[in-house]
Amino acid sequence: MEGEAGERVDLTLLRRHPVASILVLLCAAGFLLASPPLFAAPGAPRVSDIRAWTNEIYTRVAIDTGDEVSWKANLLAADPARGLPPRIFIDIRGAGIRDEIRRKPVEVRNGLLRQVRAGRFDRDTVRVVIDLERESSYRVFALPSPFRIIVDIDGEGEVPVLRMSPDAAVPSSEDPATLPPAIAPSVAPPTTSAEPAAPSAPPAVPPSVESSRVAAAPPPTARKPRVRVMIDPGHGGKDPGAIGPTGLKEKDVVLAIGRRIREKLSRSVEFDVRMTRDGDVFIPLEERTAMANKGGVDIFVSLHINASRNRKAEGFSTYVLSRGASNREDLELAARENGVPLRELQGVKFIIDDMFTGARKNESLRLAKTVNDAIVRHVSTRYPGVQSIGLKQAPFYVLVGARMTAVLVEASFISNAREEARLRDPSCLDGIADGVVEAIRYYGQNGILAHSGS
């Protein structure tokens, strides 16, 4: 999906450290944008909607302005003398505001967030104020096409994480080639499996389940927490995704795969499986992430089908979030999946907050490798010679701010006539689903739910 032209990726990070009073890191890009007019002229951008997704420990607020605006954000400590709670405010210059937004605050009052309100601060500025119930870490960034400012508020500090045994901890790395061994699948891959671009790793050794249990140290009588999984079929509604040579649409294929995954995974009681969409509807990328975060999900799997101008391009790949991509093809892919022109992703400092992403990066890398291997193995039983492109990294908006282990699958190329035909075959879709299910099962059964659940 092509986005509107002329906008810039502007992912700005603001973070408040618990100890330091306020540490504000403002990405220069937020202030180097072409200056809009100083007051809201007719046709100027305007705050048209404020959307919020929230639970007791997490809130995402999206401020829709449509066109690009200049903005800045800050946090004010509570002022007990004046009866004011801690609050985050975002000043938007040169924009108007829809009357209904100005008149009607978004009331939440859930222990983390009190309300979101907006109004004209002065002649040049619309101010959006987020009244918090208590001081919280937060960050703010903007996404283009259409322009929206996203505020993520973390009311918990340490984010829940599905951990493998402590022994499995590995140093963080941006380079797939230096990855640790993937989690061993429950069935050994056939030795004939073609993996030209897969990382050359030593034989995978499953982490010790026993040590995992020790690390988890649950009371003997405690009920094992269910693993919450969010399956995210990409695109939908007005956004068909990539379209194959004979007209097959990505949005339909990934929904069919997603439903299969849910059906298969739900056979095990330990999995609580949800989907971001279960119909042909359009859901903005930031909302998909917010749904997973709000739901306290442990594993997020976004489903997509690749496409390339090179009609011979083929194979399966699975991605994790990174600030950049190692080649032009991956950048083009990320731009297409993000619904923005390629130039939006080029030469831009794509700031990704390690507060939410870093802790789960290694887990996401492991799951991505396991998922991709398992998909290729399952589809290979029906279609010999299936290609694996392997584990990759790129700046996908749908993964930005995800608080859980999160991967994005590119299940072969719909632009390749042979692979498009394969994607019309229900047994191929079953194979893809079986691969994802096997990997999630393995990951879930051998992981430790470090959070207490809710």
Query: Of the two residues 240 and 324, which places its CB atom closer to Zn ion in the complex?
Result: 240
Task: Describe the crossing of helices 354-382 and 426-446 by its angle, rounded to 10 degrees.
Answer: 130
CB of 174 to Zn ion, least distance (A): 23
Query: Of the two residues 52 and 389, which places its CB atom closer to Zn ion in the complex?
Result: 389
CB of 431 to Zn ion, least distance (A): 19
Contact 366, 180 (CB under 8 A): yes
138 closest CA partner among 401, 397, 331: 401
Of the candidate spans 85-93, 228-236, 349-357, 437-445, the one that interacts with Zn ion by CB under 5 A turns out to be 228-236
CB of 241 to Zn ion, least distance (A): 4
Query: Of the two residues 302 and 405, which places its CB atom closer to Zn ion in the complex?
Result: 302
User: Residue 328: is it exposed, middle or buried by C-beta count within 10 angstroms (0-12/13-18/19+)?
Assistant: exposed
User: Residue 265: is it exposed, middle or buried by C-beta count within 10 angstroms (0-12/13-18/19+)?
Assistant: buried
Tokens describing residue 378: 């399952």
Of the candidate spans 66-74, 81-89, 210-218, 329-337, the one that interacts with Zn ion by CB under 5 A turns out to be 329-337
What distances in angstroms separate CA 288 from CA 138, 150, 374, one per listed residue? 19, 13, 25
Give the pairing type, strands 316-321 and 271-275.
unpaired
Query: Of the two residues 176 and 339, which places its CB atom closer to Zn ion in the complex?
Result: 339
Query: Of the two residues 337 and 353, which places its CB atom closer to Zn ion in the complex?
Result: 337
Query: Of the two residues 139 and 304, which places its CB atom closer to Zn ion in the complex?
Result: 304
CB of 323 to Zn ion, least distance (A): 20
Q: Which of residues 363-402 bind Zn ion (CB under 5 A)?
A: none
Q: Which of residues 93-152 bind Zn ion (CB under 5 A)?
A: none
CB of 171 to Zn ion, least distance (A): 31
Query: Residues binding Zn ion: what is the number (CB under 5 A)?
Result: 4
Q: Which of 94, 234, 258, 444 binds Zn ion (CB under 5 A)?
A: 234
Of the candidate spans 98-106, 111-119, 241-249, 311-319, the one that interacts with Zn ion by CB under 5 A turns out to be 241-249
Q: Which of 176, 207, 241, 341 binds Zn ion (CB under 5 A)?
A: 241
Buried b (16+ CB within 10 A) or exposed e, 347-386: ebebbbbebbbebbbbbbbbbbbbbbbbbbbbbbeeeeeb
CB of 339 to Zn ion, least distance (A): 9
CB of 304 to Zn ion, least distance (A): 3
Q: What's the chain's length in residues?
A: 454
What single-letter DSSP state applies at residue 387?
A: B
Integer-rounded Cα radius of gyration of the chain: 22
CB of 430 to Zn ion, least distance (A): 20
Tokens describing residue 325: 């991509």
Tokens describing residue 57: 């420990």
**Cβ-closest position to Zn ion:** 304
Q: Which of residues 302-321 bind Zn ion (CB under 5 A)?
A: 304
Query: Of the two residues 95 and 253, which places its CB atom closer to Zn ion in the complex?
Result: 253
Of the candidate spans 19-27, 147-155, 336-344, 353-361, the one that interacts with Zn ion by CB under 5 A turns out to be 336-344
Of the candidate spans 15-23, 337-345, 354-362, 412-420, the one that interacts with Zn ion by CB under 5 A turns out to be 337-345
Contact 9, 144 (CB under 8 A): yes
CB of 2 to Zn ion, least distance (A): 13
CB of 234 to Zn ion, least distance (A): 4
Query: Of the two residues 145 and 212, which places its CB atom closer to Zn ion in the complex?
Result: 145
Task: Compose the 267-306 pattern: x for residues touching Zn ion by CB under 5 A, - for all others.
Answer: -------------------------------------x--
Query: Of the two residues 30 and 236, which places its CB atom closer to Zn ion in the complex?
Result: 236
Query: Of the two residues 152 and 287, which places its CB atom closer to Zn ion in the complex?
Result: 287
Mapping DSSP onto H, E and C, the string for 237-292 reads CCECCCECCCCCEHHHHHHHHHHHHHHHHCCCCCEEEEECCCCCCCCCHHHHHHHH
Cα gap 21→412, rounded to integer Å: 49
Cα gap 112→109, rounded to integer Å: 7
Could you give the 3-state DSSP secondary structure of residue 227?
Answer: strand
CB of 337 to Zn ion, least distance (A): 5
Q: Residues near 8 by Cβ (< 8 Å), separated by ≥ 6?
A: 29, 33, 68, 144, 344, 348
Query: Of the two residues 153 and 334, which places its CB atom closer to Zn ion in the complex?
Result: 334
Q: Which of 68, 287, 314, 337 binds Zn ion (CB under 5 A)?
A: 337
Cα gap 13→321, rounded to integer Å: 16
Binding footprint of Zn ion on the chain (CB under 5 A): 234, 241, 304, 337
